[in-house]
Amino acid sequence: MALSTRSRIHLKKMLLEQAPLRIKELSEQFNVSDRTIKYDLETIRVWLQEQDVFMCSNPSKGIWIDCDESERTMLLGMLEDSGSHVFVNQHERARGIILDLLLSDKHITIGEMVKKNDVSRNTILSDLAIAEAFFKEWELLLERSRFGIQLIGTEKQRRTVLENIIHDLLDSNDMLQIVQGVAQEHKPTLHFNKVLERFLEPVNDLDFLFEALSRIVRNTESEVGVMLSDRVIIGVFIRLCIAIQRHHQDEHIENEDRTKEGVSEHSLNIFYVFQRVLAQLAEMESITLTDNAVWFISLQAIGMAAPFPYQINKGESLPDVYTITHGIIRHVTDQMRFPFLDDPELLNNLLAHMSDKMTKYSYGVMEPNPLLKEIMQSYRTMFDYVQKACLEVLGSLGVHLTDSDIAFLVLHFQTAYERKAEQQRWKALIVCGTGRGTSKWLMTIIENEIKHLQFVASCSVMDVEKVLEKVQVDLVISILPIKANVPVVVVHSIPCKHDFQAIQTQLNQLGSSKVRSTSNGGGLRRPEMLAHNAGQLENMVQDIIYTGYDLSREIIAHFREYLSDERAEGLTLHLLFMVNRIHFGTAYMQYGEPPLLGSTALALKEELQHVLQRKNLEVTEGELHAILRYFEPVNKGE
């Protein structure tokens, strides 16, 4: 029996986590029914029996695999091997062909592909069409000749695409194993991704390689004062794999477009740590890692530990970050018809993220995202919206974000969406054939799926007009087509995924038009409830607005040379909201390590503090850094 892609993911999760899993967890993760998961688990059970391993289940505990460590390691290896025991779908097969073409500097024949993948010639031709479309996006070409098929492109292009492919191949468990291996200073004993092993074939002692990376982490912290995060460690490891593999193919890393001249002392100190440790690794393994190769590897750490985005003395010219951030939000707003543009917190958080992202992009840094697959499964619709917005806004600028990058942006939008949804309770009327029987069941099912929807009444088709005269609702949900003076969504008697999507789409449209029911338990108070202190409230609001406006004029005038017109407009709005946050004690706080500031950024921060002190405003570090994000880099790499 062969395992499908989803079944292999289930089994890998059970083997690595070792703790019992529940069917509900898996169905929610993959957005499928419990019945589908039960079918997958039955396939896994039969497959395991063929390997003399048994799957156990208990209603109170869940499902788990009964095996020892050696069997666990053997099963994990089988899941990554191709063969009759696994079913490889077209996406996986095409990805394997893409990887083969990237790693080979020679021609590969279609016959060789047919033999390796054990499929027909027509199937391989179909897979090659997918591979060719993928390479075209990265400006690489497939050259066909009588010798076979060969990939044509620069070494830099190959490295970039290889890095992207590896990020796509690794899941959160694979990335965790890398970090654990570095922390424990030896190759992971339970599981190590076979694709990475393929890259590291020239290395005889993988334990020494992990120990070397561990020394880089320790020395970077002790000598430079920079603690490399898990994501940096994963990124460095991936680049080291690529550098070693390309050396083995006699393809040394070509000279970078930019030299190390003019690089900050901070960045060079990180490079020297890498250079010293990797020289020992190269000598031990009898391989050559040139300075350019070390620079390529260390850039992952240099870029992620780069100073706050000012005084970027090297790197590609950066587009205006405020403009592209606002553009992405506007495009997602237009697609979803949801008021993201009205959320200043989303703008501030996304601006901070995009400022860092564009700085790293200028260094050629790709960020690993251990949660990529989980985000794509849980928030697929939001992912598609954000991906399309990024293509629209960044495509014309020649900026290509990976799926990992987009997944990080999705979290910002999803958080803003859920935050807004929690503030809104939409009132709905449920309409059934008789108004009895299934109405209560339908209300329970839909309210459980869409948390910010509240049913206030139910009725039959015949009583709709009569009920709407007495009850104010935002929309009607009916199992039969009807007419009403509010939006109507027609659903099946047993709601399906498409029904929930239709309801959510209608709620998004209501949100964009700002038609909203205010529930009794929350929201803004009615004007008559504020009548007794209306004068006091008006004075307070006027004071906040005046303070914010006066502060914005002062700051914009003082820092005019660092602000475009569009950024100045955005900063004005930001400062108005900031004064409001300070007044109500909800100012932004600085969590975790503060961003590294270059000399220019430190000077700007000091000037900003003086301006705020003159205005008698005490501002948190989080608010200071939020304001600094609006200032354009002094040097755009021109």
256 in the same domain as 229 = yes
- Residue with token string 């690993």: 368
Q: What confidence score (pLDDT) does residue 587 get?
A: 65
234 in the same domain as 251 = yes
Whether 526 is covered by a domain: the verdict is: no
What's the domain range around 63? 5-80
504 in the same domain as 453 = yes
276 in the same domain as 165 = yes
Q: What confidence score (pLDDT) does residue 319 get?
A: 65
For the whole model, what pTM was predicted?
A: 0.65
Q: How far apart are CA 30 and CA 41, in angstroms?
A: 14
Last residue of a domain, one of 136, 153, 170: 153
CB 320 within 8 A of CB 564: yes
For residue 29, the surrounding DSSP H or E stretch is helix 23-30
Q: What confidence score (pLDDT) does residue 273 get?
A: 94
Whether 264 is covered by a domain: the verdict is: yes
Q: 228-237 burial, b for 16+ CB within 10 Å, e for fewer?
A: bbbbbbbbbb
Q: What is the mean pLDDT of each run of 10 residues along the chain (638 residues)?
A: 77 80 80 83 87 85 85 81 60 87 90 88 92 89 92 88 86 83 85 79 88 94 86 90 75 50 77 94 87 89 62 51 90 90 86 81 80 82 93 87 90 85 78 64 78 81 84 88 89 80 85 47 38 56 77 87 81 82 66 57 85 84 80 50
Secondary structure string (H, E, C) spanning 110-140: HHHHHHHHCCCHHHHHHHHHHHHHHHHHCCC
Whether 634 is covered by a domain: the verdict is: no
Tell me if residue 620 falls in helix, strand or coil.
coil
CB 98 within 8 A of CB 134: yes
Give 482's DSSP letter: -
Q: The domain spanning residue 434 has which CATH number?
A: 3.40.50
Whether 517 is covered by a domain: the verdict is: no
- When divided into structural domains, the chain yields a total of 6
**What number of residues does the chain have?**
638
Sequential DSSP letters for 407-464:
HHHHHHHHHHHHHHHHH--EEEEEEESSSSTHHHHHHHHHHHHSTTEEEEEEEEGGGH
CA atoms within 13 A on the CB side of 301: 31
Whether 524 is covered by a domain: the verdict is: no
Q: What confidence score (pLDDT) does residue 110 get?
A: 93
Q: What confidence score (pLDDT) does residue 133 get?
A: 92
Q: What is the pLDDT of residues 241-290, one digit of tens each?
A: 888 888 755 454 555 444 455 567 888 899 999 999 999 999 988 888 88
180 in the same domain as 212 = yes
Last residue of a domain, one of 304, 330, 363: 304
Q: How many CB atoms lie within 10 A of CB 588?
A: 21
CB 350 within 8 A of CB 325: yes
Helix extents (H) in 185-229: 194-199, 206-219
235 in the same domain as 280 = yes
Whether 523 is covered by a domain: the verdict is: no
Secondary structure string (H, E, C) spanning 589-618: CCCCCCCCCCHHHHHHHHHHHHHHHHCCCC
Last residue of a domain, one of 31, 48, 80: 80
299 in the same domain as 191 = yes
Helix-helix angle 23-30:34-50, to 10 degrees = 110
Whether 539 is covered by a domain: the verdict is: yes
Start-to-end CA distance of the chain, whole Å, equals 60
Q: The domain spanning residue 43 has which CATH number?
A: 1.10.10.10
299 in the same domain as 167 = yes
